[in-house]
């Protein structure tokens, strides 16, 4: 069965998300998604052009989803975890279900559980006994080790490595190429800077950077 799908956000991240949905269907002969297009409250003109380059329409503001055709699903294509959370809460009120998109070149352990709105880019790797919440995004070549938990609205940016037994609380951003060593907790809404190495627990609501991360 083909499911109508709308991407929320027509910036670079959102357009990348649309390409994951397309990659899932490439060569299958039985498309899973019918990409309807993008919604965005404040799209830059250049991004509307880029959406058209993908042969997809800009449908209108996010409220378009409120009156969307029955069965329409959405996926939030916004990289910043806290902006994604704000938009996600609003869209939840419209009642269109969130879809998860997993690139065929991602590997997700068979005993991994993930919530709606999960996005796994090409090369993302999740091993075993990992629990992933709602609207979590794993960017290209991000890795997550055994027995970790990623709460709602976490983003792990390209090439970042989350070791085994880690806990990333809601709204955490792990920057590009950063490492979180085994068994550590990163607190709610905290940011780990690009290239950082986290060697001890990170409290809630802070930014840490550098090696070791401070």
Ligand X SMILES: CC(C)(COP(=O)(O)OP(=O)(O)OC[C@H]1O[C@@H](n2cnc3c(N)ncnc32)[C@H](O)[C@@H]1OP(=O)(O)O)[C@@H](O)C(=O)NCCC(=O)NCCS
Site residues, ligand X (CB under 6 A): 139, 157-158, 175-176, 191, 193-195, 207, 209-210
Q: Please report how close the Cβ of residue 176 comes to ligand X at its closest, in angstroms.
A: 4
Q: Please report how close the Cβ of residue 194 comes to ligand X at its closest, in angstroms.
A: 4
Which of 15, 121, 196, 122 lies closest to 172, judged by CA? 196
Please state the φ and ψ torsions of residue 143, each to the nearest 5 degrees: -125, 145
Q: Which is nearer to ligand X, 64 or 153 (CB)?
A: 153
Residues 149/167, Cβ–Cβ less than 8 Å: yes
What does the alpha-carbon distance between residue 206 and residue 77 come to, in Å, rounded to a whole number?
24
Closest residue by beta carbon to ligand X: 193
Q: Which is nearer to ligand X, 54 or 194 (CB)?
A: 194
Q: Which is nearer to ligand X, 52 or 214 (CB)?
A: 214
Q: Please report how close the Cβ of residue 84 comes to ligand X at its closest, in angstroms.
A: 13
Q: Which is nearer to ligand X, 57 or 210 (CB)?
A: 210
Q: Which is nearer to ligand X, 65 or 136 (CB)?
A: 136
What does the alpha-carbon distance between residue 45 and residue 53 come to, in Å, rounded to a whole number?
13
Q: Please report how close the Cβ of residue 139 comes to ligand X at its closest, in angstroms.
A: 6
In three-state secondary structure terms, 24 is helix
Residue at token pair 């998604």: 33
Residues 39/123, Cβ–Cβ less than 8 Å: no
């Amino acid at each position: 069965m083909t499911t109508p799908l709308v991407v929320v956000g027509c910036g670079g991240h959102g357009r990348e998300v649309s390409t994951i949905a397309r990659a899932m269907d490439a060569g299958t002969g039985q498309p899973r998604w019918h990409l309807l297009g993008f919604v965005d409250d404040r799209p830059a003109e250049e991004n509307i052009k880029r959406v058209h380059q993908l042969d997809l329409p800009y449908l209108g503001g996010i409220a378009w989803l409120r009156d969307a055709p029955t069965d329409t699903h959405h996926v939030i294509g916004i990289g910043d975890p806290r902006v994604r959370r704000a938009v996600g809460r609003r869209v939840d009120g419209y009642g269109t279900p969130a879809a998860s998109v997993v690139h065929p070149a991602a590997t997700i352990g068979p005993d991994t559980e993930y919530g709606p709105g999960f996005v796994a880019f090409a090369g993302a790797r999740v091993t075993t006994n990992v629990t992933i919440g709602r609207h979590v995004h794993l960017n290209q070549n991000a890795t997550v080790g055994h027995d970790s938990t990623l709460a709602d609205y976490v983003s792990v940016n390209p090439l970042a490595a989350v070791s085994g037994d880690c806990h990333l609380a809601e709204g955490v951003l792990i920057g590009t190429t950063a490492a979180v060593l085994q068994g550590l907790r990163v607190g709610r809404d905290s940011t780990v800077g690009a290239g950082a190495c986290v060697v001890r627990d990170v409290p809630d609501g802070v930014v840490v950077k550098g090696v070791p991360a401070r």
